[in-house]
Amino acid sequence: MTAVLERSVVQDPQIPAAAPAAPPRRRVPAWLRRPGAVLALAIVAFAALAAAAPGLIAPYDPTATAPADRLLAPSAAHLFGTDEVGRDLFSRVIHGSSLTLTATLIALAIALVAGLAIGVVSGFAGGEVDAVLMRIVDVLLAIPGLLLALAIVTAIGFGTLPVAIAVGIGIIPGFARTTRAEVLRVKTLPYIEASRVAGTSRTRVLLEHVLPNSWGPVAVLAVLDFGSAILQVAALSFLGFGAAPPAAEWGTLIANGRDFLATAPWVSLAPGLFVAAIVLSLNHLSKTLEEIRR
């Protein structure tokens, strides 16, 4: 009887069949739900592509002069206009991305490696080592970064590499301070104490536990300082310490338009707005990363 009832229930057409389970919805990454972050990432990606392969984007030779086309306003043919000798400004900005961003990456690499080393050793060792290293960092922090970079590049010479070294040394203190603060926080956590009680060596605790767990805020600072480093590299190039002409660094391009601000403001304004867009995008990305990390 039970079997008959079960068969009748299954075969009853008045009982609706169970709806098929909906496929699981893919979770969209948090940053993709932020239009500002997507736009900022697109701008940064464009700058990276311009630095890696400027020939794919630039429509003209950045060094080709055309006196008949001097100081043309921005148009479809010349997106950023032309300079005082008829060179296409957009092409020069695109080709200048390679020099400026390369110098910025070198500066950040110097600051990141040196700042991590100083911060980790200072925070993990403590005592007199911490006191000595932090006093050196305090002295560097007392000097404005751009002024320190200016003094260093004056001493070691002009060019893209000296500018990168000078800017990198100038931003080391920020990385050192941030790394030290994170190391001090992480090394007091229970699992670090458990590792020490278990007999793990100090070097292994440092490399396997402290350093990986102190990396988050330093990575966010690296993105934020990328924008600051671009501004400092551009500022030193603006002052004439960058690559020699006819190389087109962003700061040099802005400086070249100082004599034409009244008659052709786009010569300085277009490269300046391009740099501002990239720096603001990097700052927005760093803020987004910090919010997501929390």
The pLDDT, as a whole number, for residue 29 is 58
In-domain check, residue 81: no
In-domain check, residue 79: no
* C-alpha closest to that of 157 among 243, 90, 259: 243
* Cβ 167 vs Cβ 233: under 8 Å: yes
CA distance readout (Å), 24 to 19, 21, 27, 206: 15, 9, 9, 41
In-domain check, residue 195: yes
Q: 268-277 burial, b if ≥16 CB within 10 A, otherwise e?
A: bbbbbebbeb
In-domain check, residue 146: yes
Q: How far apart are CA 208 and CA 139, in angstroms?
A: 31
3-state secondary structure 230-289: HHHHHHHHHCCCCCCCCCCCHHHHHHHCHHHCCCCCHHHHHHHHHHHHHHHHHHHHHHHH
Q: How far apart are CA 155 and CA 144, in angstroms?
A: 17
Q: Whole-model pTM?
A: 0.79
The pLDDT, as a whole number, for residue 218 is 80
The CATH number given to whatever domain includes residue 184 is 1.10.3720.10
Average pLDDT, consecutive stretches of 10 residues, N- to C-terminus, the chain (294 residues): 46 50 53 75 91 88 87 90 90 91 92 88 83 88 85 86 90 88 79 69 71 75 85 90 82 88 89 92 82 68
In-domain check, residue 186: yes
Q: How many domains does the chain have?
A: 1
In-domain check, residue 116: yes
Domain coverage including residue 103: 96-294
Phi, psi angles (nearest 5°) of residue 245: -60, 150
In-domain check, residue 10: no
Q: How far apart are CA 136 and CA 249, in angstroms?
A: 33
In-domain check, residue 39: no
* C-alpha closest to that of 85 among 245, 274, 238, 275: 245
